[in-house]
Amino acid sequence: MSLGWVTVHSIEEGQVKVTVKTGNPAMHARQRVEEAVRFALERAFGAEAKLDLTIEGVKAEERTPDTRKVLPGVEHVIAVASGKGGVGKSTVAANLAVGLAQLGYKVGLCDADIYGPSIPTMFDVTDAKPVPIEFGEKTLIQPVEQYGVKVLSIGFFADPDQAIVWRGPMASRALGQLFTDANWGELDFMIIDLPPGTGDIHLSLVQDVPLTGAVVVSTPQEVALADARKGVGMFRLDTIQVPVLGLIENMAYFVPPDLPDRRYDLFGRDGAKRLAAALETPFLGELPLIQSIREAGDAGRPAVLQGDSPAAAAFRSVIANLLEKLGKKTD
């Protein structure tokens, strides 16, 4: 009621017509809201009371920290997704987080790629062990801090030589704990590195954490674009309704170090840009296929930290476009 999410249209003899909004767009959350409203009405007026109820998801601009039970101190929660693996999604997520921190924003990065956590390697914190801290009456996990970013990953809690063989519900519960049992504090941005594809982890995320939006990463080739289209479609499902903030084209082209004037479109050209136009989704920019980006990830120092290099400039351009989309300052 205090958020203005309840609208009573009419109250007649024996019947109430009302619209209720929910901050969680997932179908099961809408059903819980409907059950709660019907229970409250019957408790007050008896089982004979009739209810004409409409459940609506809130719009992107209505999703604020005040509407979240999970991560209430975070202004923007952004998921970085991809339709298929191998397109550089984790590399993009890592550089987005560090690039935002460079601009003075308070940033967290959660590695939700349960089965293939790579963020500890990309931040050179594979040996880090998050410590428990007392926070009021609760014991919470303190995220690891690196390059101005608070980082948590399931990789911190698993043997790096041991495969994580979990069924969907167990993986979803583990992911939930990274959000609910951690001391993230006040953040401007939480970047979530999702696993590739569309599955349990994605559904659990939108059920537990109302997202500001999602960024979808793809290479220009048709095989990757077909899966990226499915990824965008997933976020747009009526039962999910997460705004897609834009597409990023990774490995867009290759420029040989010894021939800086030559450009090779190894995976095709402008594929993600054309897909963004077809889906009426913002295009956030293209990132080149540069050896230094791969080396930076392997060395645990994201490429956006490379000063005025072409790789760093490409990531900063994408970040500027994302901030413009969110109405935030870029310098």
- Return the pLDDT at 191: 96
Tell whether 241 and 167 lie within a shared domain. yes
pLDDT tens track for 237-250: 776 778 899 999 99
- Pair 227, 83: CB distance under 8 Å: yes
Question: Tell me, what's the pLDDT at 21?
Answer: 82
What is the CATH classification number for the domain harbouring 310? Answer: 3.40.50.300
Identify whether 1 is part of a domain.
no
142 and 286: one domain? yes
pLDDT digits (tens, 9 = 90+) for 283-292: 999 999 988 8
Residue 296 pLDDT class (50, 70, 90 cuts): very high
State yes or no: pLDDT of 28 exceeds 80: no
In a domain, 331, yes or no: no
Of the three residues 58, 74, 92, the one that is the final residue of a domain is 58
Question: What is the per-residue burial (b if ≥16 Cβ within 10 Å, else e) of 93-104?
Answer: bbbbbbbbbbbe
Kindly state whether residue 159 falls inside one of the protein's structural domains.
yes
Whether 27 and 137 share a structural domain: no
DSSP 8-state assignment for residue 241: -
Same-domain check for residues 49 and 68: no
Angle between the N-to-C axes of helices 200-208 and 168-180, in degrees from 0 to 180, rounded to the nearest 10: 30
Are 30 and 93 part of one and the same domain?
A: no
Mean pLDDT is highest, among 4-18, 52-66, 305-319, for 305-319
Question: Are 21 and 100 in the same domain?
Answer: no
| Residues 138 and 190 reside in one and the same domain | yes
Q: Are residues 15 and 74 in the same domain?
A: no
Same structural domain for residues 318 and 220?
yes
Same domain, 23 and 73: no
pLDDT tier for residue 150 given thresholds of 50, 70 and 90:
very high
- Could you list the residue range(s) of the whole structural domain that residue 28 is in? 6-58
Of 76-80, 135-139, 279-283, minimum mean pLDDT range = 135-139
Residues 47 and 83 in one domain: no
Q: Report the CATH number at residue 33.
A: 3.30.429
The total number of structural domains that make up the chain: 2
pTM of the complete model beyond 0.95: no
